[in-house]
């Protein structure tokens, strides 16, 4: 029962635990995480842990193993069942549990699964995750006779979201759950929201038969765009596989990207929190940071990663933060965690009470052209070295460099970014300008720096994308 356990070297990630089911991630791994994380909770004086799981076919087996491992540490486990990740975050806060664990593969392919954790009110990430591997490798576990019980928090979660709905006119909304874990909650939520609601793919199916559940990739929004056009919707809203990332479409069928959504939300949040710090990651458009400043807020650029942004929010007292990837965090009225369903409620309320279409709110921001995130393979050992080499050259040249997470370089043409991924053996490049010609010059700078470090440059998509 207390044997040492070694995880596959690719499984313990910066922000969570993730692997291919039956290959790099097994039920034995889930049980070992339960033992190791349960030990951390118990040694900290915790007694209760909430556990939930998403709609993947492997999730029930991993959840049962996790509960077994936690109970073996003498903890009481509140099993909330199948639902989105933010419902687990809500349950942990609502039930004042010492910790929460979610079995989820998020937006990864169907054969993946993983584990997200929170301790107290904060995320578990970085060294905390690596420490679980050390505890398991030594079988340095707390032991006890724990217990578990099934609880139902679905109605409480929906009711709490509805408390913050402040719309004043009915809208027509299309929703795409992507066959992910949000389906049942979405049905309960839309039954209470005013207006007309068209639900797509709300049946939870871990095979994801209709499209991949990642609303930040435009090809996954084709069905949502079609529904918006067919039904004359005011807004289209999509979710990823575990409901913590949002995608949005305006009535013209245009994507409203994550940083644009943060700018729209910021205008509303800053009315109640004048001068407040609003945080966004280094991949976000400069137009967002400029807009926050224009609105009287204090823009803060921070590292990419949902756990890192949550931690920075708590540190700064920020009421709102967001990432290009669609993780958006409200501490204004909400709990500071990323919740796409709640973000949907706030977006509908905002558009409703302002009596303006989402397209007008989107178009307040200047048009820019940018590249998509371009990823290319570099070894784990080399990727961080390359970024350091680029940074050293740029600083020697006197360039305007923000090095909070990789290098983000500002020029008269706009900006470009090069950073090492924390979760994959890749470098990520991105560039943005006010003109196509400026974008080409920025792309050329990225290419030149990569070649100076002996790497073949990534091939950016031609022309960039309007944003």
Residues 61, 64, 66, 68: what is their CA dihedral angle, to the nearest 10 degrees? -140
CA 457 vs. chain centroid, Å, equals 28
Q: Round to whole Å and give the CA distance between 40 and 129.
A: 11
The answer to whether residues 80 and 151 touch, using CB atoms and an 8 Å cutoff, is yes
Q: Round to whole Å and give the CA distance between 406 and 101.
A: 30
Indicate the SS3 state at residue 235: strand
Q: Round to whole Å and give the CA distance between 383 and 389.
A: 10
The answer to whether residues 328 and 261 touch, using CB atoms and an 8 Å cutoff, is yes
Structure tokens at 348: 């509908």
Q: Could you list the beta-strand ranges (E) of 120-195.
A: 122-123, 147-150, 172-176
139: left (phi over 0), alpha (psi -120 to 50) or beta: left
Q: Round to whole Å and give the CA distance between 283 and 408.
A: 9
Q: From the candidates 2, 23, 58, 106, which is the catalytic residue?
A: 106
Residue 106 is among the residues annotated as catalytic for this protein = yes
Q: Round to whole Å and give the CA distance between 177 and 115.
A: 21
Q: Round to whole Å and give the CA distance between 69 and 144.
A: 11
Sign of CA pseudo-dihedral 289, 293, 295, 300: positive
Question: How far is CA 59 from each of CA 10, 71, 123, rounded to the nearest angstrom?
Answer: 19, 18, 21
Q: Round to whole Å and give the CA distance between 198 and 233.
A: 9
- DSSP label of 457: P
Instruction: Return the bridge partners of 19, or none.
Output: 113
Question: Catalytic positions, please?
Answer: 106
């Amino acid at each position: 029962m207390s044997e040492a356990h070694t995880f596959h070297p690719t499984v313990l990630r910066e922000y969570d635990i993730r692997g291919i089911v039956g290959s790099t991630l097994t039920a034995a791994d889930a049980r070992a995480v339960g033992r190791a994380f349960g030990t951390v909770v118990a040694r900290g004086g915790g007694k209760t842990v909430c556990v939930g799981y998403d709609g993947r076919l492997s999730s029930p087996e991993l959840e049962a193993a996790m509960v077994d491992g936690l109970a073996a540490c003498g903890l009481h486990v509140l099993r909330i069942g199948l639902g989105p990740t933010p419902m687990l975050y809500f349950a942990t806060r609502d039930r004042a549990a010492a910790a929460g664990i979610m079995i989820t593969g998020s937006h990864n392919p169907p054969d993946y699964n993983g584990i997200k954790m929170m301790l107290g009110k904060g995320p578990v990430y970085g060294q905390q995750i690596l420490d679980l591997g050390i505890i398991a490798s030594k079988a340095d576990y707390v032991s006890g006779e724990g217990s578990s019980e099934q609880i139902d928090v679905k109605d409480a979660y929906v009711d709490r979201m509805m408390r913050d709905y402040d719309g004043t006119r009915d809208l027509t909304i299309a929703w795409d759950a992507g066959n992910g874990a949000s389906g049942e909650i979405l049905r309960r939520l839309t039954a209470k929201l005013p207006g007309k609601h068209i639900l797509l793919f709300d049946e939870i199916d871990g095979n994801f038969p209709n499209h991949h559940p990642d609303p930040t990739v435009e090809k996954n929004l084709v069905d949502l765009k079609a529904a918006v056009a067919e039904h004359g919707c005011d807004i289209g809203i999509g979710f990823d596989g575990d409901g913590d990332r949002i995608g949005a479409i305006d009535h013209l069928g245009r994507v409203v990207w994550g940083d644009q959504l943060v700018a729209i939300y910021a205008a509303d949040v800053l009315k109640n929190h004048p001068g407040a710090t609003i945080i966004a990651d280094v991949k976000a458009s400069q137009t967002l940071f400029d807009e926050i400043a224009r609105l009287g807020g204090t823009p803060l650029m921070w590292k990419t990663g949902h756990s890192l942004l949550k931690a920075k929010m708590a540190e700064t007292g920020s009421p709102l933060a967001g990432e290009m990837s669609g993780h958006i965090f409200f501490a204004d009225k909400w709990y500071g965690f990323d919740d796409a369903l709640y973000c949907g409620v706030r977006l509908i309320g905002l558009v409703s009470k302002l009596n303006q279409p989402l397209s007008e709110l989107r178009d307040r921001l200047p048009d820019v052209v940018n590249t998509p995130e371009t990823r290319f393979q570099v070894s784990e050992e080399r990727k961080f070295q390359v970024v350091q080499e680029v940074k050293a050259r740029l600083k020697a040249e006197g360039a305007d460099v923000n090095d909070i997470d990789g290098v983000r370089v500002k020029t008269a043409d706009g900006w470009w970014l090069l950073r090492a991924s924390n979760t994959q053996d890749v470098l990520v490049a991105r560039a943005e300008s006010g003109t196509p010609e400026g974008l080409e010059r920025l792309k050329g700078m990225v290419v030149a720096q990569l070649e100076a470090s002996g790497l073949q440059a990534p091939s950016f998509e031609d022309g960039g994308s309007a944003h």
